[in-house]
Copies of this chain bind each other. A is one copy, B any other.
Amino acid sequence: MPSNIIDGTAIATSIRNDLGIAVEAFRNQSGISPALAVVLVGDNPASAIYVRNKERACEQAGIATETFILPDTTSAQELIHLIQKLNANDSFHGILLQLPLPPHVDANAVIAQLDPAKDVDGLHPENMGRLLTGSPYLVPCTPAGIQELLLRSGHSPNGKHVVVCGRSDIVGKPIAALLVQRNDQANATVSICHSQTPDLPHLTKQADILIAAIGKPNIITADMVKDGVVVIDVGINRIPDKTRKSGHRLVGDVDYLNVALKASAITPVPGGVGPMTIAMLLKNTLTAAREQHQGR
């Protein structure tokens, strides 16, 4: 692996090992096994893979999981009923609602029903608000993973200009909120760009740290970044590839090979942000279990 690659898989593995030890220590001290309820609606194949990966990661870290699979036809009402039951069930410390939900269900309305204390994806308005005001409890997993990647790879955002491309609720807006805060692990000047930004390259070229979370393959090209930039590629895009058995491969939002020549550091896809998202899910589940044990 070239020296400027930020190895998300290795960093995530190290975090997961540490979490496994912390989970065991917590269990020995409290007698409680952290447990995660996973809710999967419909039969989106990508979602099923994500859920399986999360279950496996939990298991390895000593976190129990139970997955509730509901049919595609589930109504918002039925889903909210399940969420409320899980909120009230003390044996689950975290609830993961796998997104996307079927189009007839308003995801925000369901997320708002989660007990914020069990919202290990950090997407409930109360957790988002605590993030924005700088007193975070459970931070959305992908933004939390990006911050960890930067810090652990020696690229602190402190004092840097971070340019975020994309304004989704699960990545763009929360990573901007996280990195602008007044603390040593953040303290970035943050610009947020999106589809309505008239001159995207003008801003991306100013980035000390560029976070690409747009969801379009290879949209960030080498002419759009400055020499020495640190690039975090959040995109996971499937493009046709006849040389693969599956007929496709995964690429990020960044024209990786060319941008890597100019970047001082860059995350690959896969093997960059993705593994960190799962590691942060485990971390949030342990945090939730601890807080519930302490009767927050």
Contacts and interface: CB of A to CB of B under 8 A. Distances in A.
A174 to B, nearest CB: 7
Q: A108, A131, A159, A192 — which one has the most chain B CB atoms within 10 A of its CB? A: A192
A135 interface: yes
A197 B162 CA distance: 11
A125 B134 contact: no
B125 A129 contact: yes
A93 interface: no
A180 interface: yes
Nearest to A203: B189
Contact of A191 (B123, B167, B189): B189
Interface in A156-180: 158-159, 161, 167, 169, 173-174, 176-177, 180
A132 interface: yes
Nearest to A163: B191
B189 A158 contact: no
A169 B108 contact: no
Contacts of A189: 191-194, 196-198, 203
A124 interface: yes
Contacts of A174: 132
A128 interface: yes
Q: A129, A134, A167, A193 — which one has the most chain B CB atoms within 10 A of its CB? A: A129
A65 interface: no
Contacts of A130: 125, 128-129
A180 B173 contact: yes
Nearest to A202: B206
Interface string A85-127: 0000000000000000000000010000000000000011111
Contact of A196 (B124, B131, B158, B173): B158
A6 interface: no
A198 B159 contact: yes
A194 B128 CA distance: 21
A118 to B, nearest CB: 16
Contacts of A218: none
Nearest to A123: B133
A228 to B, nearest CB: 15
Interface of A: 108, 123-135, 158-159, 161, 167, 169, 173-174, 176-177, 180-182, 187, 189-194, 196-198, 203
24 contacts: A108-B133, A124-B129, A125-B127, A125-B128, A125-B129, A125-B130, A126-B126, A127-B129, A128-B128, A128-B129, A128-B132, A129-B129, A129-B131, A132-B132, A161-B197, A167-B180, A173-B180, A176-B176, A176-B180, A176-B192, A180-B192, A182-B194, A190-B191, A191-B191
